[in-house]
Structure 1
Amino acid sequence: MMFRLEPLTTLIVGLIMVFANLLVVEQAVSDTITGDVSWPIFLNFCKFLIFVR
């Protein structure tokens, strides 16, 4: 039985990207609440918003 590797690879990469973006959002929210907004995290959050759109 042969399995195609491409769908599995796409799924794994997609899940990694989703979890990475969730970490960025979580960090951005906690920084906003504490008032400690660092620019690199803010820029990553902007990249996330562009990626989702």
Structure 2
Amino acid sequence: MQPIADCGRDHPVQMVALCPNCHAVKTRGSKKEQLQQSLLDVARKAHHRWTTG
């Protein structure tokens, strides 16, 4: 998973839905690295569930 701003794909398998406040924290917040890692972990687990049945 890679942000679109970092040349990531603009595709549904690459997306995580966020409210505007969470998006701001993910993008500019003081704990953005921590939130980004949590989102990546959740997305990887979901992707694994979807692809392995």
Give TM class, smaller chain.
Answer: 0.3 to 0.5
Structure-1-length-normalised TM-score: 0.43
Q: 1 or 2 for the larger relative contact order (CA 8 Å, sep ≥6)?
A: 1
Structure-2-length-normalised TM-score: 0.43
Larger Rg: 1
